[in-house]
């Protein structure tokens, strides 16, 4: 039945309003007339069409569950205080929790800071650990069922799909049958046989909830992920500011295979804190399936011709949402998951970050005032994967999956006639003390506009290597310049050899160390690499980055020794140096253990040039590099601002994440690079949201946040002097910004009407003479004294105004590992310059010092 306002149940509970309604009932705000307190009343409606005997059994079971729920007492759980039946329906009486649900919070304020999300995650995981210890599985965790109280605490509510869990008999009954909300429900929750869920099911749902909270969008449903794995994007592709540690934990929590997830809520909390690894174990030994052994016919590469379609693989159709169809989908998902494995590429990129403070300083272009001890990374054993038997042999990269260095045989069981050169995907670190040797990472710089070495106007001698999983053709479908580009299609089987190589030998003049290619991507996130052969026949990989979405984007990478996978040594005599002259050898697409197995990209205008080759900072904007093809290569100009004085700190502080360790670093508007101050705990870092940052050695620095106002609606953002306020409204998806005089409420002007980036706040200058807001990623400036607005910085993330309002601090994406560099500009957007220049270092939470 549907309750009406004013209706009284049990002569005690008076209905006040409807809070929410779903397929299994509704939740009402009500008033307890006996205790004179507000309560939440949940109406539970059984599935229609059940026979009387089953209804009796369900009511008995539901009453038993309600009795157990009433015994739960935890600060982050809603408390059940009563249970009753009336007019054929069952009701739960719960404490009324003031606040707004997490979905509403994200919609109103945008994506919260990572440190805030982690605080909520620890609270919810603590609540889940308590529930699971009492034998209760929630089964419907989602942003709508997390209430953020006015004091900032997160409370888990709504036990509508609660299940009594017995670890010795997991197939127990659930009174109110339901599958949960598709975007947040794990695959086992759809099983036709009731009772397959356990605590790992709640781990999945909470992981999906954190995914939504950290990225601003819900993950794909499990059926969509099974039908098209490429739809599930790693969180950092949607929010590059996330730390690798948090991304790894969310990815493991949302594994489709139950055995790959965290076993307990406590284990997930430890991984989020960095106290335990977040990498998922393998489910089982790799199975040999028809799909795994099936290969495509030889791809034909013909100048100007359309590519031959690859052999179609047999796929299980996702044809129904019925229980039987879902059971079939989950079964197929299991077979796909069993053969799935994580490749080492991304893991080793993250392992690189566990270098010592000295290595961070040298590789990132930062000065180190004094040596500081830090943990050394564990060595990563490698496992060789060999190529298939095909006419053209290509060097085959190695990958790591388990702690073993035993090489495997060649694929398909066919021995290689000659030893196959392999690439080591372990960081090259040798030191008698166990500390990795610092690597000097050249910083790529932007090439001149017309320096393309390969334009694909002439097809030449392109041919595919021995991995039969793709084809490349000359095309006019998508072209950046000229008449032709290259169309690269791939179709990877579920094997370790999920990469494809396209060979093309071309001499390179001079001593190039930087390479770039324009790419029209498919959003796969796969690695795109160029292979180069040097004078000693050593093959090097130049990692250009991860393939993004549609639209032409330039990807740039560095040729240098001592770089870990996906850059560095591939095969041949490894002597630790690049021996010039070199030759362009191959273009490679490599799937890093995630992303779609089929897709296509377009490549055009491959360029090579000589960039800055030292570990010092790169030139400021305006410095150019000369392409190798046009003559001798001049030395890159030095930075226009000096490095930091040793031992001093600047006016800007930020946090460096290196594996499971954190460091406080500093820079200044007059510097061209940063320097490390010392190790720091995350809770005391610039990311913690406090007024100070304190190192482990006890050094404390005051932080300045400025006059910031989160984007909400309706909302007033008063100026620092209290004379004006900017009022924010929203209508049909657009925001309206208007300036009012506070003293009399008069509207001074209507400043803006259109879309806003709600994840970036509105900023007031200290003197109240101007304010800033962000459209997409462009920072705009307006004034209460004049109409209109104008852009000041084209790309600005996390902008902060200096204490005197004369400068803007912000970050911009840099490099290929998801890092950001820190920039400073004048308040009007002039004199924009990079003050860190460290493309391989994760820099978080830049703040002004006070």
Residues of the chain with CATH 3.30.200.20: 8-95
Which of 369, 303, 282, 241 is CA-nearest to residue 663? 369
Residues of the chain with CATH 2.60.120.260: 452-610
Residue with the bigger pLDDT between 616 and 551: it is: 551
The distance from CA 550 to its chain's CA centroid, rounded to whole angstroms, is: 19
Looking at residue 135, its pLDDT comes to 79
Q: Looking at residue 251, what DSSP letter applies?
A: H
Alpha carbon distance 489, 507 (integer Å) = 26
Would you place residue 728 in the very low, low, confident or very high pLDDT band (cuts 50, 70, 90)? Answer: very high
Q: Exposed/middle/buried for 449, CB within 10 Å: 0-12, 13-18, 19+?
A: exposed
Residue with the bigger pLDDT between 440 and 805: it is: 805
Q: Decide if pLDDT at 570 tops 70.
A: yes
Q: Decide if pLDDT at 695 tops 60.
A: yes
Please give the average per-residue pLDDT across 8-19, as a whole number: 92
| CA distances from residue 590 to 310, 397, 399, 445, 817 in whole angstroms, order as listed | 18, 10, 12, 24, 15
Would you place residue 220 in the very low, low, confident or very high pLDDT band (cuts 50, 70, 90)? Answer: very high
Which residues, 6 or more positions from 768, have their beta carbon under 8 angstroms from its beta carbon?
A: 719, 720, 721, 723, 724, 784
Take residue 348 and report the two structure tokens written for it: 């080793």
Q: Across all residues in the chain, what is the average pLDDT?
A: 74
Alpha carbon distance 432, 75 (integer Å) = 51
Percent of the chain at pLDDT > 70 equals 69
Alpha carbon distance 529, 321 (integer Å) = 41
Residue with the bigger pLDDT between 69 and 709: it is: 709
Interior/surface letters 4-37, b for 16+ CB within 10 angstroms, e for the rest? eeeeebeebbbbbeeeeeeebbbbbebbbeeeee
Pick the CATH number of 101-273 from 3.30.1600.10, 1.10.510.10, 3.30.70.2740, 1.10.287.1080: 1.10.510.10
CATH for the stretch 452-610: 2.60.120.260
Interior/surface letters 585-616, b for 16+ CB within 10 angstroms, e for the rest? bbbbbbbbbbbbbbbbbbbbbbbbbbbbbebb
Q: Decide if pLDDT at 400 tops 60.
A: no
Q: Decide if pLDDT at 552 tops 70.
A: yes
Q: Exposed/middle/buried for 762, CB within 10 Å: 0-12, 13-18, 19+?
A: buried
Please give the average per-residue pLDDT across 196-200, as a whole number: 80
Q: Decide if pLDDT at 601 tops 70.
A: yes
pLDDT tens readout for residues 771-781: 999 998 899 99
Looking at residue 366, its pLDDT comes to 54
Q: Decide if pLDDT at 27 tops 70.
A: yes
According to DSSP, the residues that pair with 101 across neighbouring strands are: 147
Q: To the nearest 10°, the Cα dihedral for 532, 538, 541, 542?
A: -50
| Cβ–Cβ under 8 Å, residues 456 and 485 | yes
Looking at residue 642, its pLDDT comes to 60
* Radius of gyration for the alpha carbons in the chain, expressed in angstroms and rounded: 29
Alpha carbon distance 382, 156 (integer Å) = 43
Q: pTM of the entire structure? A: 0.41
Which of 198, 206, 190 is CA-nearest to residue 172? 198
Looking at residue 249, its pLDDT comes to 95
Instruction: Report whether the peptide linkage leading into residue 782 is cis, meaning its omega lies within 30 degrees of zero.
Output: no
**Helix (H) or strand (E) segment spanning residue 308:** none
| Cβ–Cβ under 8 Å, residues 93 and 13 | yes
| DSSP per-residue letters across 163-223 | EE-BTTB-----SS-----TTT--GGGG-SSS----HHHHHHHHHHHHHHHHHSSPPPPHH
Please give the average per-residue pLDDT across 286-304, as a whole number: 29
Would you place residue 335 in the very low, low, confident or very high pLDDT band (cuts 50, 70, 90)? Answer: very low
Q: Decide if pLDDT at 748 tops 70.
A: yes
Q: Decide if pLDDT at 618 tops 70.
A: no
Q: Of 490-504, 532-546, 634-648, 731-745, which range is least confident?
A: 634-648
Please give the average per-residue pLDDT across 679-708, as a whole number: 91
| Cβ–Cβ under 8 Å, residues 486 and 475 | yes
Q: Decide if pLDDT at 158 tops 50.
A: yes
Would you place residue 389 in the very low, low, confident or very high pLDDT band (cuts 50, 70, 90)? Answer: very low
Looking at residue 585, its pLDDT comes to 94
Q: Of 244-248, 390-394, 663-667, 826-830, which range is least confident?
A: 390-394
Handedness of CA 425, 429, 435, 441 (dihedral sign): negative
Residue with the bigger pLDDT between 576 and 304: it is: 576
Looking at residue 214, its pLDDT comes to 95
Q: Decide if pLDDT at 423 tops 70.
A: no
Q: Give the three-class secondary structure for 118.
A: helix
Residues of the chain with CATH 1.10.510.10: 101-273
Alpha carbon distance 146, 184 (integer Å) = 13
Instruction: Report whether the peptide linkage leading into residue 566 is cis, meaning its omega lies within 30 degrees of zero.
Output: yes
**674 φψ region: left (φ > 0), alpha (ψ -120 to 50), beta (else):** beta
Of 126, 140, 497, 534, which one is the catalytic site residue? Answer: 140
Please give the average per-residue pLDDT across 815-836, as a whole number: 88
Q: Decide if pLDDT at 720 tops 90.
A: yes
**Helix (H) or strand (E) segment spanning residue 19:** strand 13-22
Q: Decide if pLDDT at 447 tops 60.
A: no
* Domain 8-95 in this protein, CATH class: alpha beta
Q: Decide if pLDDT at 288 tops 60.
A: no
Looking at residue 397, its pLDDT comes to 54
* Catalytic (active site) residue 140: yes
Q: Of 47-51, 488-492, 613-617, 835-839, which range is least confident?
A: 613-617
Percent of the chain at pLDDT > 90 equals 34
Q: Of 291-300, 457-466, 490-499, 664-673, which range is least confident?
A: 291-300
Please give the average per-residue pLDDT across 334-351, as a whole number: 32
Q: Decide if pLDDT at 502 tops 90.
A: yes
Would you place residue 807 in the very low, low, confident or very high pLDDT band (cuts 50, 70, 90)? Answer: very high
The distance from CA 808 to its chain's CA centroid, rounded to whole angstroms, is: 26
pLDDT tens readout for residues 208-219: 999 999 999 999
- Among 165-179, 224-238, 302-316, the range with the most confident prediction by mean pLDDT is 224-238
Angle (CA) 635 427 679, round 5°: 85
Please give the average per-residue pLDDT across 697-701, as a whole number: 93
Alpha carbon distance 684, 676 (integer Å) = 15
* Size of the chain, expressed as the number of residues it contains: 850
Would you place residue 392 in the very low, low, confident or very high pLDDT band (cuts 50, 70, 90)? Answer: low
Q: Decide if pLDDT at 763 tops 60.
A: yes
């Amino acid at each position: 039945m549907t309750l009406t306002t004013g209706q009284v149940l049990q002569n005690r509970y008076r209905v006040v309003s409807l809070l929410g309604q779903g397929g299994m009932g509704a939740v009402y705000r009500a008033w307890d007339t006996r205790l004179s307190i507000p309560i939440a009343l949940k109406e539970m409606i059984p599935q229609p069409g059940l026979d009387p005997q089953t209804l009796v059994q369900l009511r008995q079971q539901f009453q038993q569950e309600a009795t157990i729920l009433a015994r739960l007492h935890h600060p982050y759980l809603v408390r059940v205080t009563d249970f009753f039946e009336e007019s054929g329906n069952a009701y739960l009486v719960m404490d009324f929790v003031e606040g707004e649900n997490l979905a509403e919070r994200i919609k109103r304020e945008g994506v919260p800071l990572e440190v805030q999300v982690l605080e909520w995650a620890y609270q919810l995981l603590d609540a889940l650990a308590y529930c699971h210890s009492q034998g209760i599985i929630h089964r419907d965790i989602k942003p709508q069922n997390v209430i953020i109280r006015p004091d900032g605490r997160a409370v888990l509510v709504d036990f509508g799909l609660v299940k009594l869990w017995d670890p010795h008999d997991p197939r127990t009954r659930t009174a109110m049958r339901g599958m949960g909300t598709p975007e947040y429900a794990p695959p086992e929750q759809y099983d036709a046989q009731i009772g397959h869920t356990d605590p790992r099911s709640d781990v999945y749902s909470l992981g999906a909830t954190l995914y939504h909270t950290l990225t601003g969008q819900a993950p794909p449903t499990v059926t969509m992920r099974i039908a098209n794995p490429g739809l599930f994007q790693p969180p950092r592709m949607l929010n590059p500011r996330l730390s690798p540690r948090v991304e790894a934990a969310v990815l493991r929590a949302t594994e489709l295979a139950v055995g790959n997830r965290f076993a307990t809520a406590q284990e997930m909390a430890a991984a989020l804190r960095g106290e335990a690894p977040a990498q998922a174990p393998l489910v089982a030994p790799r199975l040999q399936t028809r799909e795994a052994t099936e290969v495509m016919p030889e791809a034909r590469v013909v100048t100007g011709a359309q590519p031959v379609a690859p052999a179609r693989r047999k796929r299980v159709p996702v044809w129904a949402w019925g229980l039987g169809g879902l059971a079939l989908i989950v079964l197929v998902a299991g077979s796909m998951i069993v053969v799935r494995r994580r490749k080492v590429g991304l893991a080793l990129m993250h392992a690189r970050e566990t270098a010592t403070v000295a290595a961070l300083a040298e590789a990132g272009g930062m000065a180190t005032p004094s040596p500081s001890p830090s943990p050394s990374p564990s060595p990563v054993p490698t496992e060789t994967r060999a190529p298939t038997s095909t006419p053209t042999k290509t060097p085959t990269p190695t990958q790591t999956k388990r702690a073993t260095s035993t090489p495997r045989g060649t694929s398909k069981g066919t021995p290689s006639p000659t030893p196959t050169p392999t690439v080591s995907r372990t960081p090259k670190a040798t030191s008698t003390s166990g500390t990795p040797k610092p690597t000097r990472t050249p910083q790529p710089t932007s090439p001149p506009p017309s320096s393309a070495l390969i334009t694909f106007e002439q097809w030449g001698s392109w041919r595919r290597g021995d991995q039969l999983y793709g084809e490349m053709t000359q095309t006019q479908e998508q072209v950046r310049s000229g008449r032709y580009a290259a169309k690269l299609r791939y179709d990877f089987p579920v094997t370790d050899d999920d990469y494809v190589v396209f060979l093309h030998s071309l001499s390179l003049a001079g001593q190039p160390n930087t390479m770039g290619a324009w790419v029209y991507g498919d959003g796969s996130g796969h690695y795109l690499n160029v292979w180069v052969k040097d004078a000693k026949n050593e093959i090097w990989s130049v990692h250009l980055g991860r393939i993004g979405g549609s639209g032409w984007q330039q990807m740039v990478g560095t040729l240098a020794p001592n770089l870990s996978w996906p850059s560095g040594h591939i095969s041949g005599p490894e002597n630790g140096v690049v021996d010039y002259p070199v030759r362009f050898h191959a273009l490679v697409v490599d799937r890093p253990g995630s992303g779609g197995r089929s897709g296509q990209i377009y490549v055009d205008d491959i360029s090579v040039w000589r960039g800055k080759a030292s570990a010092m900072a790169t030139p400021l904007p305006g410095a150019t590099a000369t392409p190798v093809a046009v003559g001798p290569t001049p030395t890159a100009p030095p930075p226009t601002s000096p490095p930091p004085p040793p031992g001093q700190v600047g006016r800007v502080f930020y946090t460096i994440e290196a594996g499971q360790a954190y460091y406080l670093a500093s820079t200044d508007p007059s510097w061209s690079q940063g320097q490390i101050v010392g190790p720091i705990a995350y809770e005391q870092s610039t990311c913690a949201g406090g007024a100070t940052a304190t190192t482990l050695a006890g050094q404390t620095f005051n932080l300045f946040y400025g006059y910031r106002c989160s984007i909400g609606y309706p909302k007033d953002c008063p100026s620092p002097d209290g004379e004006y306020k900017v009022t924010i409204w929203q209508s049909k998806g657009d925001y309206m910004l208007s300036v009012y005089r506070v003293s009399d409420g008069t509207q001074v002007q209507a400043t803006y009407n259109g879309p806003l980036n709600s994840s970036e706040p509105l900023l007031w200058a200290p003197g109240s003479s101007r304010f800033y807001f962000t459209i997409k990623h462009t920072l705009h400036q307006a004034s209460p004294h004049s109409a209109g607005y104008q852009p000041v910085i084209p790309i600005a993330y996390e902008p902060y105004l200096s204490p005197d309002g004369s400068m803007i601090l912000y970050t911009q994406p840099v490099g290929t590992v998801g890092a950001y560099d820190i920039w400073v500009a004048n308040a009007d957007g002039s004199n924009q310059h990079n003050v860190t220049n460290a493309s391989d270092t994760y820099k978080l939470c830049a703040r002004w010092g006070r």
